[in-house]
A and B are shown apart, each in its own frame.
Chain A
Amino acid sequence: MIMAEPVSSSQPQVSAPVDEDELVRDARQGNLTAYDELVKRYQERIYATLYHMTSNHEDANDLAQESFIKAFQALKSFKGGSSFYTWLYRIAVNKTINFLKQRKNRTHISLNNIDFNAEHDPDLIALISEQTPRRAAGLTELQEKLNEALMKLSESHRLVVVMHDVQGLSHEEIAEAMDCNVGTVRSRLFYARQQLQGFLADYLKPT
């Protein structure tokens, strides 16, 4: 894993453009400061998707960095038919699916910590068993089981669940990112939820 190195101060600073098209245009001409701004805009969303897909912080970090690097390399081929974010998302998702196929049966889970807000999330509080003496322990156990269940899904099904139920993307946005139609997204989502419900039956309260 390659961690951060400070950006050289010799890089000419441009007046921070807000417009994404302008940033993309500048980055396409090799302006790394403009590209740095684009990375900052989307790093959290891209990382989160890759993390939820891999259930591994180190893998997600490597994949996210490589996705941004690859996007920079391929900027000349970006025609602007979709938003930069959708295009970038597609690169990251394809890279991750390739990675997961290559490392099949070598799943190594390395989970991030749960933030403090989780303990106050009403959805989660409702789910934690009343018999659990310590709430934090209940959340950790749930987190492990949830990630294990997600890793049992196929890559395409996991991706749909992550994008829709975790990240809140619409069916249309998912279809565009995955280069498939909305009907496929809906059916994959339904199937994936059914599977997850089966895997996590012990942790779900009947509705």
Chain B
Amino acid sequence: MNENENNFESLRRLLALKRHETPPPGYFANFSAAVTARIRAGDARRTASVPDRLADELPWLFRLMSAFEAKPAFAGAFASALCLLLLVGIVYAERPSDIEPQPILQATLDTSPLAVATPVNLSSQPAEQTVFLSSTNPVFNSQPAGAWFASQGPTVQPVNFMLPGN
């Protein structure tokens, strides 16, 4: 390190010039008064910008944002990683399940409307069929969606309001 210090001796001398740069005469005489006057005037509240508050309250987030600004490559890598994570999540969510979807009850396939209400004696069912009762298996309805309201037969009728005396 000493050798390095010697190498920079000339530079160090030049930097000494900075110490001789001084503000206008009398500047510091009024500085503290200006600060306290601004505090009194409530200027303090206005100066607290969002980035400043972030830096105070969430220093880790502030450092992350600073790293993004300083290194665009880092920001790009971070964004790519997020996109990749999102993509993996979507692919994983849409992946077909290994287990074939099966009806919740064998009876739902029955055409008889009373079959659903028929109580099932679970203890008498073989183990193979008990799996169908799992509530996590998807429920499939063999009926088309339009058939759900077919029995109710909704109709539209125009309504005419007649005021009394007309």
Contacts and interface: CB of A to CB of B under 8 A. Distances in A.
B47 A70 contact: yes
Contact of B10 (A94, A190, A206): A206
A169 interface: no
A118 B19 CA distance: 9
A94 to B, nearest CB: 6
A73 B45 CA distance: 8
A111 B30 contact: no
Contacts of A197: 7-8, 11
Given A36-B36, A64-B31, A95-B52, A73 B44 contact: yes
A113 B66 CA distance: 34
Interface stretch (B20-28, B72-80, B120-128): B20-28
A73 B19 CA distance: 31
Contacts of A207: 6-7, 9-10
Contacts of B55: 94, 98
B138 to A, nearest CB: 53
B70 to A, nearest CB: 8
Interface residues of B, number: 45
Contact of B18 (A52, A117, A127): A52
Contacts, number: 155
A133 B16 CA distance: 22
B11 A115 contact: no
Given A95-B52, A203-B14, A36 B21 contact: no
B89 to A, nearest CB: 34
A193 interface: yes
B31 A4 contact: yes
Interface string A8-31: 100000000000000000000000
Given A7-B37, A113-B22, A70 B48 contact: yes
B28 A44 contact: yes
A39 B16 contact: no
Nearest to B29: A4
A143 interface: yes
A32 B17 CA distance: 36
A166 interface: yes
Which of B14, B51, B66 has the most CB atoms of chain A within a 10 A radius of its CB? B14
15 contacts: A4-B30, A4-B33, A36-B36, A43-B31, A52-B18, A70-B44, A101-B69, A121-B17, A121-B20, A123-B16, A142-B14, A165-B12, A190-B4, A196-B11, A200-B11
A33 to B, nearest CB: 8
A182 B69 CA distance: 24
